Amino acid sequence: MIEILTPVQVDRARRTGALVADILATLRGRSMVGTNLLELDRWTAEMIRDAGAESCYVDYAPSFGRGPFGHYVCTAVNDAVLHGRPRDQRLADGDLLTLDLAVRLDGVAADSAISFVVGESRPAGSVEMIETTQRALAAGIAAAGPGAKIGDLSHAIGSVLREAGYPINMQFGGHGIGTTMHQDPHVSNDGRPGRGYKLRPGLLLALEPWIMADTDELVTDEDGWTLRSATGCLTAHSEHTIAITEDGAEILTLPSR
């Protein structure tokens, strides 16, 4: 289903997006050497509850996961890149952590992800990987607007990733979002310009370039959810929810402060 939101719903999405961004910013500030991933999950649940919102993850049970996710935020460390299920693990100096969060507020969802390095150490290639996903995300957003096609966004994202020399996995990518978290259209992280669905004002998209340092192959962890690089290499992931407007693309998942 491709959902076109009303102006009232888009305004609600702005509030949802700001909430997602604020929670992620708070979690980043609390992600220190020694912080437990389960603490991050507990803090997320508290902030969602205090805002009067609801988690898009806790009861999420798609075909590619093993039962309901059962947690409130995805926490992917180092070689983990997507759907990272929080577990009893304390962060170490130099860990590359990705936090991915989706919530629904007033009936509209928003989804965002950030990657950063914990502590003082900076493992080789970690900062470059994060910055590459951020540049790819910015390119995808810049390509979005009324009349553009999904392939234009995919091509813009993929061009940045390919130029930086990273393999591109096409199994998971961006997606439509609205009154539910995952909707059509799918937005691959590479593609051909001029192809696919034509963007219209009121469409919300979650764009999410993610990369693995030296492979495009994923393996599933024993928890049935966490996806890791097949070679154990570092990974990175950046995501924003955007709204297509008459003037272009508006980023919804920016902090309110």
For the chain, give every domain's residue range. 7-251
Sign of the alpha-carbon torsion through 209, 80, 68, 254 = negative
Joined tokens for residue 208: 């999410």
Q: If pLDDT is split at 50, 70 and 90, which confidence band does 148 have?
A: very high
Distance of CA 131 to the CA centre of its chain: 15
Please, what is the average pLDDT of the chain?
A: 97
Residue with tokens 């890791």: 228
Q: Which of 189, 180, 125 is nearest to 153 (CA)?
A: 189
What φ, ψ does residue 110 adopt, rounded to 5°? -145, 155
pLDDT of 257 > 80? The answer is no
Joined tokens for residue 135: 């540049």
pLDDT average, residue stretch 232-252: 97
Where do runs of H (alpha helix) occur along the chain?
7-30, 37-50, 126-142, 150-163
Strands 96-105 and 54-55: antiparallel
Write out the binding residues: 83, 100, 111, 175, 182, 208, 239
CATH of domain 7-251: 3.90.230.10
| Tens digits of residue pLDDT in 10-42 | 999 999 999 999 999 999 999 999 999 999 999
pLDDT (0 to 100) of residue 113: 98
Write out the binding residues for substrate: 83, 182
- pTM for the whole structure: 0.97
How far, in Å, CA of 130 to CA of 169, rounded? 16
**∠ at Cα 214 (211, 217), nearest 5°?**
70
* C-beta of residue 250 within 8 angstroms of C-beta of residue 201: no
Distance of CA 122 to the CA centre of its chain: 22
Write out the binding residues for a divalent metal cation: 100, 111, 175, 208, 239
| Tens digits of residue pLDDT in 66-95 | 999 999 999 999 999 999 999 999 999 999
CA 82 → CA 49, 144, 171, distances in Å? 24, 24, 11
